[in-house]
Structure 1
Amino acid sequence: MISSRGSLFSAVLSPMDPNTAPENNLDLKWRQVLPPGAGLERRGNSSSVRVVLQCLTHTAPLANYMLSEEHSRTCQQSGVCMMCVLGKHMISAFKHSGQIIQPVGVTSLLSRLFPDFKPGLPESSIGFYKAVVEALHQSDLNGRKRNGQTTEDSLVKQIFEGTVQHALTCPACGELHLVFTPFRELIVSTEAPGNVTRDLTWYMMVEQLGFTLQFNCRRCKRSGHSHYKTTFLHLPNVLVINAKPRDEEVTAKTVKPMRYPEDLDMRPFMSQPSAKTEMYQLYGVTVLENYKKDRSHSYCYVKGSDEQWYIMDDDKVSLSNRRSALEQKASLLFYVRSS
């Protein structure tokens, strides 16, 4: 048995067959060129929520599906459906490009989606992302069941979910253990100056099991430490990386701009050698400003369907550039599969 507490991967507590990847019928590229989404009205100290909404709105496969209104046209769910709520918000955001809108549909559900939300905390963005994605997953499954479908596949699984493989060998009897964990985001613990590729490589190396994982051999029933190797069995179409400083006593002065590539090659981290490339392209960066324990402000950079970078700071949306987007104190990085 393995506990993933403190590990690189944030697990999804749903069963998954490790031999099958989620169905993939998605358009990963934009179906049409659209202007950037609208600015979001500033209400309270919840910029960490608004930046996640902006990055999700500019996630091409999610936007393609939501703008088609395929779900909302057939949804028969009673009560609140997160698929419908977010879809309505995304349609409004693109319809009112150049203007300012109130994301009331989503934010009105904040206490239900994310009961532990505390405005201004640096970790609020990743918490809100996880809550929204899980709500989308459940709404999609409920809708499919109402339509007579029995599949456990969902739009969220197709877009955001991958599977990590932990390979462990028992030092006592030599038994090989393969443990599979689904994930929707990677937690990369960074050390100043941060470097996502370096830190990701460090985590994927063969390491000595310590406080992060507990190993019990199913064959000889012994427990103890073992070397293990972590690789990816399946990668998601959209890869979300949570760049988390190792030093918990972080202040505005100690947070530094970090290095993260525009094009990320994940092929070296796969469980099985593959002839195909595993390339991802950056399209979203959330940034923490005034990083403090009890108060922070977030803004983001997004790459639009026109291949231009924009900076989105609450109600302000401005044209930016690639260089600026790649030189930030990033907290969340959004990558989409490009090959």
Structure 2
Amino acid sequence: MCACVVSRDSAQCVSSRSTVVKCSITANCVKPVSIVHHLRAIARHFRLGRQEDAHEFLRYFIDGLQRSCLHGYPTKLDPHSKATTVIHQIFSGYHRSQVKCLECQRTSNTYDPLLDMSLDIKNCTALSKALHRSIKPDLLEGDNSYACPYCKKMTKAQKRFTIQRLPRVLTMQLKRFDFNSMFGGKINKTVAYPEHINMRPFMSSTQGPSEWYRLYAVLVHYGFSCHSGHYYCYVRNSNNCWYCMNDSQVSQASLSTVLQQEAYLLFYIRDENHAPPSGGSSKSQAVRSDPKFLSTPKKVAIGLDKTGTPFVEETDWSCPSVPQDHYTSQDVFKWKNHAQL
């Protein structure tokens, strides 16, 4: 798909059913006619003319690209080999699910691929708040107690999800729709999100250098429910200018306009050249590694607004130290079944 746009020529993408999907390009716009005509090759339940969820389409489309990369290889390919495709190298990271027994204090970790983050935005006015909520520990007790393999009984425990390894392209879904509702309710409110965001505080290891990401695309749903409405997006081009893509209409947009949208999907790309905000020097990074510093909550820069001013959040740095996230795909799957670090 990318080669098709860049070369201004037709490109082919083979789906899992060997259906060829082509992009038709004119001097004015990209017409994904063949994609529309082969929706069922992407997902069987998709129908032309029916309102579909953009996040669901994205997940099926990325999955289709992954299967295309594996076309011609054995069906029962090992997970390590599957993780070497260009799709996984771009979009996939790993998250860690950790269960901690509150009696023996031992932990059990499970690692799974991370293709996107679905964030609950109820009672949240900023992306950073939703991210903090996503890593907040859940208490397992009562009927939901934990069967501790060390205590040999049901115990109270804490379960927590964190990011073990970040992808090159980080996709975040702000959960605005209630698909279980008869009328498909939607949360219509603005959730503030920065142009730059540091993802280090949301990782399994909060120690180490900052992990900065830069916003490069925003998808917006215009409408009042998941059953109707219209999707359009804002995309940052290679010239660092923002453009609003609304069907066949393309218009330039300012960064301030982009940051004021009621976003549904946010796309961030790793920004290794991003300069840290004021106070984010290597000296401050060394201070964060000091056990005295880690003993109490501190205020750290979690992102930058459109003027370059850091968002300051109180973050709990007192969580126990865990190994750095320099694991290979093979290591991750080796440890998958509740392995002990």
Q: Which moved more, 1:137-146 or 1:261-270?
A: 137-146
- Partner residue, 1:216: 147
Q: Is the 8 A contact 1:158 1:237 kept in 2?
A: yes
Equivalent residue for 1:230, pick from 161, 174, 195: 161
Equivalent residue for 2:237, pick from 293, 304, 320: 304
**Which structure would you say has the larger RCO, counting Cα contacts within 8 Å and 6 or more residues apart?**
1
- Partner residue, 1:269: 202
| Residue 162 in structure 1 maps to residue 93 in structure 2 | yes
**Aligned-partner Cα distance in 2 for 1:251–1:161:** 30
The residue type paired with residue 327 of structure 1 is Q
Q: Is the 8 A contact 2:220 2:264 kept in 1?
A: yes
In the superposition, the TM-score normalised over structure 1's length comes to: 0.66
Q: 1:102 to 1:272 in 2, by over 3 A?
A: same
Q: 1:173 to 1:115 in 2, by over 3 A?
A: same
Determine what percentage of the aligned residue pairs are the same residue.
Answer: 27
Q: 1:255 to 1:301 in 2, by over 3 A?
A: same
Q: 1:290 to 1:297 in 2, by over 3 A?
A: same
The alignment covers a number of residue pairs equal to 262
Q: Is the 8 A contact 1:231 1:270 kept in 2?
A: yes
Q: Report matched runs for 1:63-142 at 5 Å.
A: 63=2, 67=6, 80=18, 85=21, 89=23, 96=26, 99-117=28-46, 121=51, 124-142=53-71
> Per the alignment, in what secondary structure is the counterpart of residue 306 of structure 1?
coil
User: Which structure dedicates a bigger proportion of its chain to helix?
Assistant: 1
**Aligned-partner Cα distance in 1 for 2:33–2:43:** 15
Q: Is the 8 A contact 2:103 2:155 kept in 1?
A: no
Q: Is the 8 A contact 2:55 2:265 kept in 1?
A: yes
> Per the alignment, in what secondary structure is the counterpart of residue 290 of structure 1?
strand
**Aligned-partner Cα distance in 1 for 2:225–2:215:** 26
Equivalent residue for 1:313, pick from 242, 246, 258: 246
**Aligned-partner Cα distance in 1 for 2:15–2:178:** 45
**Aligned-partner Cα distance in 2 for 1:268–1:78:** 38
Q: 1:214 to 1:116 in 2, by over 3 A?
A: farther
| Residue 151 in structure 1 maps to residue 81 in structure 2 | yes
The residue type paired with residue 236 of structure 1 is P
The residue type paired with residue 126 of structure 1 is H
- Partner residue, 2:308: none
Q: 1:328 to 1:120 in 2, by over 3 A?
A: farther
Report the alpha carbon displacement of residue 326 of structure 1 after superposing the two structures with TM: 0.6
In the superposition, the TM-score normalised over structure 2's length comes to: 0.66
Q: Is the 8 A contact 2:178 2:185 kept in 1?
A: no
Equivalent residue for 2:222, pick from 275, 285, 289: 289
- Partner residue, 2:126: 195
| Residue 171 in structure 1 maps to residue 102 in structure 2 | yes
Deviations 1:141-178 (A, max 9, x none): 225669xx993211111011111112222234433111
- Partner residue, 2:299: none
Q: 1:319 to 1:178 in 2, by over 3 A?
A: same
**Aligned-partner Cα distance in 1 for 2:250–2:53:** 22
Report the alpha carbon displacement of residue 110 of structure 1 after superposing the two structures with TM: 1.1
**Aligned-partner Cα distance in 2 for 1:330–1:235:** 22
Q: Is the 8 A contact 1:291 1:297 kept in 2?
A: no
Q: Which moved more, 1:281-290 or 1:174-183?
A: 174-183
Q: 1:216 to 1:171 in 2, by over 3 A?
A: same
**Aligned-partner Cα distance in 1 for 2:153–2:250:** 58
Instruction: Specify every segment of 5 or more residues in structure 1 that has no aligned partner in the other structure, as ranges.
Output: 1-56, 58-62
- Partner residue, 1:30: none
> Per the alignment, in what secondary structure is the counterpart of residue 80 of structure 1?
coil
Q: 1:275 to 1:115 in 2, by over 3 A?
A: same
Report the alpha carbon displacement of residue 225 of structure 1 after superposing the two structures with TM: 4.2
The residue type paired with residue 218 of structure 1 is P
**Aligned-partner Cα distance in 1 for 2:95–2:242:** 31
Q: 1:225 to 1:114 in 2, by over 3 A?
A: farther
User: Which structure dedicates a bigger proportion of its chain to strand?
Assistant: 2
**Aligned-partner Cα distance in 1 for 2:60–2:16:** 20
Report the alpha carbon displacement of residue 120 of structure 1 after superposing the two structures with TM: 5.7
